[in-house]
Amino acid sequence: MSFDWSEYLNVARELAGQSTVLSSAEAKKRCAISRAYYAAFCSARNYLRDKDNDLNIPVGGNAHGYVRRQFKTSKDKVRREVGEYLARLVAKRNLVDYKDDITSLANLDGETYLALNWSQEVISDLAQL
């Protein structure tokens, strides 16, 4: 079944405290996966900027691939793990943010759980570096 994208407005209203209609479970899970990715991505981007003093991070959409590559190609095992988690998360985020039908995610509850855990792993790994 094709996703009703207007459900995101219901989620937005819930988040803003202006809800008159509850958003669907699918919309909430899609948002959770997307936000989990951005929590991990922005934490990793800011780590590069603030801890590594990386001044080459592109602005906009190109930053995503750049940040993943910086971590995935590192000689450090923990940094490579961060890159791997970011790659997995962005793949899930692209599905939930752009696909009308996500039947490839057979278990949306499980996928949401994974995304939340992967995001937490990135944040925890960054804290260890």
Q: Which domain holds residue 55?
A: 25-128
- Please write the tens of the pLDDT for every residue from 49-69: 999 999 999 999 999 999 999
- Return d(Cα 14, Cα 90) in angstroms, integer: 25
Close Cβ partners of 99 (under 8 Å, ≥ 6 residues apart): 3
Percentage of the chain beyond pLDDT 90 is 90
pLDDT at 80: 98
In a domain, 110, yes or no: yes
pLDDT of residue 16: 94
Structural contact between residues 32 and 116, judged by C-beta atoms closer than 8 angstroms: yes
Name the H helices within 51-106: 62-72, 77-98
How many structural domains is the chain composed of?
A: 1
119, part of any domain: yes
Quickly state the pLDDT bin for 7 (edges 50, 70, 90): very high
Residue that has been written with the tokens 């906009």 in this structure: 60
pLDDT grade, residue 102 (50/70/90)? Answer: confident
89 in a domain, yes or no? Answer: yes
Q: Give a yes or no: residue 17 inside a domain.
A: no
